[in-house]
Structure 1
Amino acid sequence: MAHYADSEVGTLRTVMLHRPGNELKRLTPRNNDRLLFDGVPWVSRAQEEHDAFAETLRGRGVEVLYLTDLLTETFASEQARAHAISMTLSSLHLGDTLRRYLDQVLTGLSPEELTAYLSAGVRNDEVRGGFGLVTSLLDDQDFLIDPLPNLLFTRDSSVWVRDRATVTSLAMPARARETQLTELIYTEHPRFAGTERIHGWHHEHVEGGDVLLLAPGVIAVGCGERTTPAGAERLARQVFQHGLAHTVLAVPIAQERATMHLDTICTMVDVDKVVMYPNVAHQLQAFTVTMAEPGTDEQDMTLDVSPPEPFLVAAAKAMQIDTLHQIDTGLDPVTAEREQWDDGNNTLALAPRVAVAYERNDETNERLEASGIEVIRIAGSELGSGRGGPRCMSCPISRDPLA
């Protein structure tokens, strides 16, 4: 199948990335917290690091698609452009005068220009019309259309589950528009014609960083700062209804920045191995969710939810393997905490026992190699300022099936 993924470790064939662009140049010490970055990145260096990441993937035979290229190609459709503009200008903070002006401006742009405006945003001091109460009262540096610096993390806005594109629903207001644009690509771009989608940006919050395809038919969903229990239930109902999985593990995680997603705690590096943050590994629990009785639709379905078990135990049972082996981040609690913060757990598997990781996490990478994993090291000193590693920065669209 052209677009298919049933695991985290099947040989990667096609991936969607976003090369850092002008949206990162919008970050300042005044707004970086609101836009979910821990610092103000050196943009040209971030671009160099990302280009090296993409070239590393190509060197391993992976087709690299860029989100903004796909979006520009999608905007060849007048309907797609109108839909994107309408969603972007639905914000209640604009007011009618400014909304009408921006609608006229955006409608007159080329596909390339529209992509640039929607990703990099528009500041109040950049408009040449639509003047009125809103433009008068807002500060010159306030954004009329927010930039989307977190487009870098393409994993969060969509996840492929077998042959379906799961369009997620991002929890933070600064990221809400990302999934709208991603859904537009899957709906309107010719490459994805006929692609069936599940979930969607209008449903309960689920983020791709919380969704791990542990094995064919087995999905783990972290529930914490970004993905809600209701979102996990909605996703479980949908994958069961469409026969995409037989087991969903709902995994509670701490609602804090350091563990914003499940993939900041663990990622798959082989069919039976995870790299995992040891400081929380033995506390991590999972509720096993299965379909007790089917219904006429997903809402009528009856779910069976088991009592919690240790995550590694519940995962091994669901995957029907003896043991899901744990490779620790770091060798001691302090090193583990440092390397977890630096995305040591956030690896991207290119195939079983082959993973891309940030070069700075020396001890984690050494432990991976000692466990038989080939580690492909990449630089990420600037890319990591938004709290995300190689897995966060990549949305696998096609992997060789494991089953």
Structure 2
Amino acid sequence: MEQRGVKVYSEIGKLKTVLLHKPGREIENLTPSYLENLLFDDIPYLKIAREEHDKFAEVFKMNGIEVLYLENLVTDSIKDLNIKEQFVEDILLKSNLVDNKIKEELKKYLLNMLPKEMIDVIMAGVRKEDILLKESKSEYPFLLEPMPNLYFTRDPFACIGSGVSLNSMRKVARRRETLFGKYIFKYHPWFKDTNVSIYYDMDNPSCIEGGDQLVLSKEVLAIGCSERTDKEAVLKLASNIFKSGETFEKILLFNIPKIRAFMHLDTVFTMVDYDKFTIHPEIEDTLKVIEISYDKANKNVITKECEESLESVLSRALKTEVTLIRCGGGDKIAAGREQWNDGSNTLAISPGKVITYDRNYVTNELLDKHNIEVYAIKSSELSRGRGGPRCMSMPFVREDI
């Protein structure tokens, strides 16, 4: 099997390879009683969500972009019996199981399956009746919790330059997800011998998530300090990247409000062209930007708070005059409504060509007026997970710009 690496040096370079996860049975293990615990506000209708996701994938394919699926890559990574067993051990460890009897029964149950079936079951979750375990006295229906957030492939790990950040997720419900990325880059035939650099380790106590990690250019990253990402994690990641010899010279730390509506940086700010960004206007008044650089002589990370406007910070960093396209066109009601359905969460598949949700029509019309080509996909069910097209995709390879 061919050797591959990752190559992501911008948010807008022509996309060549992308990773997705089509919503599966894990969505049907959502119930009103456990929505908050599993980080959902509503229950998508799986049949329509899958149809919408297929249309999402079709946009990539019609633009000549290779689409990979998370479950297939993980399956190919654990075909060796020893690796498969270690993977199950790691999944159960990250599931915080306290009852050793349940843990052992789950282990036997999972290891008795073929790799693809086992991965599908781990993603969907295991109910008590699945293995007829009478010893469990709890009313909670799951022995192994479902992973309904998996279709947001952006967050558990992030491709940055020629390396990967294996992210330490904030919420317990999502911490196991990063293991999929860990096993892909360590054991998949495409990557295991390519020495893909690991810039951040999932066992680090400071949290960081992929929705907060943006690659603006070969020299500049933007990382959000948000509800899900700690400043300490950003500084650790910055230090590791600077020391790696990568081309990145500057990281812009965006300090955004720590609330669910602004969960990650990419829910309020994305790049759509060489000189254009979408932004949710509500963050502008409170936004603080810190510039992080590296003193090679003394091997120190340097931080400096930026006093100028966001346009000025971005224009200086990217060496071009920048335009901010405000979600909802400056209308407070439209901005609030479309922000709830990720109006600012665009995915560029090439400079000036983006995928958005069709329901955010005010922002989409504004993008069109700024000469941005918009592929607006159906989103009645996918949007219920509170994540947009960028959230649902992890680029592996982009062309240089």
TM-score where L is the length of structure 2: 0.94
SS at match of 2:251: strand
In structure 2, what is the equivalent of residue 70 of structure 1? 73
Q: Which deviates more from structure 2 when the two are superposed, residues 105-114 or residues 9-18?
A: 105-114
1:218-271 CA distances to partner (integer Å, 9 max, x unpaired)?
Answer: 011101100001111111111111132110111111111100000011100001
> What is the alpha-carbon distance in structure 1 between the residues aligned to residue 164 and residue 15 of structure 2?
16
> What is the alpha-carbon distance in structure 2 between the residues aligned to residue 246 and residue 290 of structure 1?
6
1:340-372 CA distances to partner (integer Å, 9 max, x unpaired)?
Answer: 111110010010000001011111011101001
Gaps of 5+ in 2: none
Amino acid across the alignment from 1:52: K
Determine if the alignment matches structure 1 residue 326 to structure 2 residue 324.
Answer: yes
SS at match of 2:190: helix
Out of 303, 306, 312, the position equivalent to 2:304 is 306
Whether contact under 8 Å (1:120, 1:147) holds in the other structure is yes
In structure 1, what is the equivalent of residue 217 of structure 2? 215
> What is the alpha-carbon distance in structure 2 between the residues aligned to residue 168 and residue 318 of structure 1?
26
Whether contact under 8 Å (2:154, 2:394) holds in the other structure is yes
Alignment of 1:2-401 (within 5 A): 3-90=6-93, 91-129=95-133, 131-132=134-135, 135=136, 137-139=137-139, 141-193=140-192, 194=194, 195-203=196-204, 204-244=206-246, 245-293=248-296, 301-309=299-307, 310-321=309-320, 323-331=321-329, 332-401=331-400
Alignment coverage as a number of residue pairs: 391
Q: CA RMSD in A?
A: 1.5
> What is the alpha-carbon distance in structure 1 between the residues aligned to residue 83 and residue 127 of structure 2?
24
> What is the alpha-carbon distance in structure 2 between the residues aligned to residue 294 and residue 261 of structure 1?
34
> What is the alpha-carbon distance in structure 2 between the residues aligned to residue 200 and residue 138 of structure 1?
34
Amino acid across the alignment from 2:153: T
Whether contact under 8 Å (1:215, 1:271) holds in the other structure is no
Whether contact under 8 Å (2:257, 2:286) holds in the other structure is no
> What is the alpha-carbon distance in structure 2 between the residues aligned to residue 31 and residue 312 of structure 1?
42
- Shift in Å at residue 294 of structure 1? 5.2
In structure 2, what is the equivalent of residue 298 of structure 1? none
> What is the alpha-carbon distance in structure 1 between the residues aligned to residue 400 and residue 165 of structure 2?
17
1:99-119 CA distances to partner (integer Å, 9 max, x unpaired)?
Answer: 122222222211012101210
- Shift in Å at residue 282 of structure 1? 4.1
SS at match of 1:254: coil
> What is the alpha-carbon distance in structure 2 between the residues aligned to residue 108 and residue 9 of structure 1?
44
> What is the alpha-carbon distance in structure 2 between the residues aligned to residue 360 and residue 294 of structure 1?
51
> What is the alpha-carbon distance in structure 2 between the residues aligned to residue 77 and residue 394 of structure 1?
28
- Shift in Å at residue 186 of structure 1? 1.3
Gaps of 5+ in 1: 296-300
- The 1:311–1:238 alpha-carbon spacing in structure 2 relative to 1, beyond 3 Å, is farther
Identity of matched residues, %: 36
